[in-house]
Amino acid sequence: MKFNSKQANQQYSSFNLKDFFGMNNPKKILLPVALVVTFCVLGLAFFSFVNPSYDQEAVLKMKPIFFGSTRVADEPVNSITLIAPTTTAVYFNILPQKMQFQFDDLLSNDNTPLDVNMYMIIQVKKGQTPDLLRNYGENWFENFIEPYFRNKVREYVSSCSPFDLMSNREVLAKFDDRIKQSMRQYVASLSRKANFPIDIQQVITDRVMPNKEQLEEMNKTAASIQAKQTQEKRAEMELARAKAERNKAVADKAYMTELNLSPAQFIQLRAWDVIEKKNGANIDVLFGGGETPMWNIRR
């Protein structure tokens, strides 16, 4: 028996078409939906989403699949967005940020080593993050802001007295303002070449202290000064007491002379004064006509 392949293929194709068109409506709809879902799943496997939070902006770095060059998108992303597999997102925080700095062993104007803690409030300008990425890169803070800030702090500390930096709030306020103005001028000079969309809002010195070794020496010096002052105060008190006793002795001698009393009589008279002032003492009788007066004391 001879087999006709052409006729068989025609019959198979005719059978498939008839079978498809003979399907009921739900089955006709199911097949396209399945194809769409399949394409969506494959698309999600290659594409990704960018979803910045309320305090962020995302900037897209777009890379071509075959031809062209990498570029930064002109508009930032503020909501959920589907991006191509060759595109990446860089997130920028657009709220004011507190950047902390710690400096060890900065030399003051008398070469005293100081440890300084400072912080700077800085904000990236909203809507201009593409310029920030395009002009200064992802590490704009580490590469441009931090080195200049540290250099200026070191420069200004070397022109100030350590005691002013540690305790004079007026000097510290001027110190902070000088650094803030220097940072703003620096950012403005960079922006004249290429937009640098950041704002230096505040510079604040949190604490200035001598380093550990210097602090120990200062504590020892302070303790020695305090001990010396204590000894001087004690000596002043002793001198004042001695002077008071001498004045009292002069007064007692004048009293004896005025009343023509012998030393024994004066001592007995003073004893009576002491007993009279003693708490709980009650003098009933005081008499005597000789060298040794007598008194009766009842408690």
| pLDDT, mean of residues 183-192 | 97
Confidence class of residue 5 from pLDDT cuts 50, 70 and 90?
A: very low
| pLDDT, mean of residues 179-206 | 96
Confidence class of residue 163 from pLDDT cuts 50, 70 and 90?
A: confident
The C-alpha atoms of residue 48 and residue 63 are separated, in whole angstroms, by 14
Residue 6 pLDDT > 80: no
Residue closest to 133 by CA, chosen among 197, 80, 69, 78: 197
| Eight-class DSSP state of 6 | H
| pLDDT, mean of residues 198-210 | 92
Confidence class of residue 250 from pLDDT cuts 50, 70 and 90?
A: confident
Residues near 95 by Cβ (< 8 Å), separated by ≥ 6? 55, 123
| pLDDT, mean of residues 207-215 | 74
The C-alpha atoms of residue 273 and residue 286 are separated, in whole angstroms, by 12
Ramachandran class of 60: left when φ > 0, alpha when ψ lies in -120 to 50, beta otherwise: beta
Identify which has the larger pLDDT, 35 or 207: 207
pTM exceeding 0.75: no
Considering 37-51, 56-70, 105-119, the range whose residues carry the highest mean pLDDT is 105-119
**Cβ-based burial of 77 (10 A; exposed 0-12, middle 13-18, buried ≥19):** buried
Residue 274 is predicted with a pLDDT of: 65
Cα–Cα distances in angstroms (integers) from residue 39 to residues 25, 28, 44, 200, 205, in the given order: 22, 18, 9, 49, 58
Ordered strands of the 71-72 beta sheet: 71-72, 56-62, 88-93
Identify which has the larger pLDDT, 240 or 201: 201
Q: Three-class SS of residue 195? A: coil
**What are 121-139's pLDDT values in tens digits?**
999 999 999 999 999 999 9
Residue 242 is predicted with a pLDDT of: 79
**What are 19-39's pLDDT values in tens digits?**
545 555 555 566 666 666 665
| pLDDT, mean of residues 52-59 | 93
The total of other beta-carbon atoms located within 10 Å of residue 60's CB is 22
In this structure, of 72-86, 191-205, 218-232, 250-264, the range with the lowest mean pLDDT score is 218-232
Tell me, what amino acid is at 166? Answer: M
The C-alpha atoms of residue 78 and residue 148 are separated, in whole angstroms, by 31
| pLDDT, mean of residues 268-278 | 68
What is the chain's percent helix, strand, coil content, to nearest 5?
55, 25, 25
The C-alpha atoms of residue 139 and residue 52 are separated, in whole angstroms, by 19
Most distant pair of Cα atoms in the chain: their distance: 177
